[in-house]
Amino acid sequence: MKRFLAAVLFVAASIGAFGAFAQKTVTFAYQDMMNPWRYVQQSGEIEKATGFKINWRQFGGGGDVIRAMASGDVQLGEVGSTGIATAISQGMDVELFWILEDIAAAEALVVRNGSGINSIADLKGKKIGTPFVSTSHFQLLYAMNQAGLKATDAQVLNMRPPEIAAAWTRGDIDATFIWDPVLTTVKKNGKVLMTSGDICKKGACTFDGLVVSKKFAQENPEFMTALVKALAKADADYRSNPKAWSGDSDRAKAVAKWSGGKVEDVPAAMALYGFPTPQEQLSPAWLGGGANGAATKALAQQAAFLKEQGRLTSVAPDFSKNVNASYIEKATK
């Protein structure tokens, strides 16, 4: 009898151990932008819906995210459109499946008060901090190019957001093209010279998106659908009642916590972005439309510009192969 009980206990323990071992895990790279998605991270909603263990890893810029994904350490990540264009052009087997935010006025070129910079042309010879391979980097180079300046006409420095904040405080840089929460900080003793929205009107629009390893997505379609549902729900909640994401609310606290910003800065920072609905994302205005879709065209344009600037050696022949709206379609049925 004792042997029988011991055998039963051994089998039960083995099953328990196997169950723990069998739990699926995924590593998700995120940055410091302020958006409704932060509340999903805080709530654990996706973990509860899927049973996955999510390892959240924060990175300082899109270039860091795509390098981590290229190494296989990260399966999903937040990356600006410029970083996505770079990843696809470098042959990474990833796909864009969700527009996290239309950047609109949420990234801006800020110049220090007293720097003597009053136009893009005045950037010549100045020190400018921005994270390389980011949408801000692309926008800065595009704006300089439009003003007749080469990238080498200024000292464009590769800095992560926290490094920009520190350098700004020390007075080491004259200007920065950056997003919140650092954007709010530098505005206090600087002026906005140009926003991403201004540059979009000149023909170069940018966005932040979520990308995934194609292998992971194909092997875990239920996870992908649950993820998209949670994203759409959070965005809808914000669009319907932005005041609920302000003050001392749990939502505002979550955004501040995960972005590393201040809770009082959350409402103004989030108001600078646009958060497309699933229907808008499925349309040619974003992920739909194949090669004629706006997101696909933006990726191709940014990759071509980066190649022209010597930042890329080649450009992918067809970006539409790496834009996948199927998970949004499944989530909205």
pLDDT digits (tens, 9 = 90+) for 141-173: 999 999 999 999 999 999 999 999 999 999 999
**Does 44 lie in the same domain as 31?**
yes
pLDDT lower than 50: segments of the chain = 1-21
Asked if 111 and 94 sit in the same domain, the reply is no
What residues make up the domain containing 247?
A: 24-103+206-331
115 and 59 in a common domain: no
Integer Cα distance of 305 and 287 in angstroms:
21
The reply to whether 49 falls in a domain is: yes
In a domain, 73, yes or no: yes
Domain end: 164, 182, 201, which one?
Answer: 201
Same domain, 222 and 323: yes
Pair (227, 324) in one structural domain: yes
Match 């965005």 to its residue by tokens: 235
CATH number of the domain at 144, please: 3.40.190.10
CA-wise closest residue to 56 among 258, 236, 281, 288: 258
258 shares its domain with 277: yes
pLDDT in tens, 45-74: 999 999 999 999 999 889 999 999 999 999
Q: In the chain, how many domains are there?
A: 2
pLDDT of res. 309:
86
State whether 85 and 111 are in the same domain: no
Contacts of 115 (CB under 8 A, 6+ apart): 126, 174, 175
- What pLDDT was estimated at residue 17? 43
Q: In terms of domains, do 324 and 216 share one?
A: yes
pLDDT of residue 4: 41
pTM of the model: 0.86
Q: Return the pLDDT at 155.
A: 98
Q: Extract the runs of DSSP E, i.e. beta strands, from the chain.
A: 25-30, 53-58, 76-80, 94-102, 107-112, 127-130, 155-158, 175-179, 190-195, 207-213
pLDDT score of 14 = 43
Q: Pick from 201, 225, 252: which residue ends a domain?
A: 201
Comparing CA positions, the residue from 257, 319, 309 lying closest to residue 142 is 309
What is the reported pLDDT for 20? 45
- Give a yes or no: residue 11 inside a domain: no
Same-domain status, 261 and 285: yes
Please report the DSSP string for 54-109 in residue order. Answer: EEEEE-SSHHHHHHHHHHTS-SEEEEEHHHHHHHHHTT--EEEEEEEEE-TTSEEE
| Together in a domain, 306 and 215 | yes
Question: Are residue 181 and residue 323 in the same domain, yes or no?
Answer: no
Asked if residue 6 belongs to a domain, the reply is: no
Residues 58 and 193 in one domain: no
